[in-house]
Amino acid sequence: MEAGESERKMASVFGSAKLIDNLKVVGRFDKNLDPNPKGEGIPYTPYSKAVSVNTVIFGLDWSPAKNVYALPNVVASFYDELEKGEKPDLDLQPRLTLYYKF
């Protein structure tokens, strides 16, 4: 941990279920129990630094060939209530993850 940083608490649950031989449904839920003071500086998914964020990832894991995977998914980030001020809006990000296992 760098000087000036504080520890943050979080919880995460995830799982998958096979639909057919080469297709699974996947999901994950992350609960940040503390706001991230550097959240607005995360380039791939900025968060409000004023309030705790919750993230849900839901998608499919498709394997069209051996060791080849395509994972279309959606990331939804929503925020806890603020004591003061306006609650940040819901963030939705469609994503596609391509993976080849060497």
pLDDT per position as a tens digit, 35-82: 877 777 777 776 777 788 899 999 999 999 999 999 999 999 988 887
Instruction: Give the model's pLDDT for residue 5.
Output: 60
Sequence letter at residue 11: A
Whole-model pTM: value is 0.78
Burial tier of 52 (Cβ tally within 10 Å: 0-12, 13-18, 19+): buried
Give me the pLDDT at residue 8, please. 74
Looking at residue 45, the DSSP 8-state letter turns out to be S
Q: How many residues does the chain have?
A: 102
Q: Average the pLDDT over 85-96 and give the result.
A: 87
Q: Residue 4: helix, strand or coil by DSSP?
A: coil
Residue 21's identity, in one-letter code, is D
Q: Closest by alpha carbon to 101, among 72, 60, 71, 68? A: 68
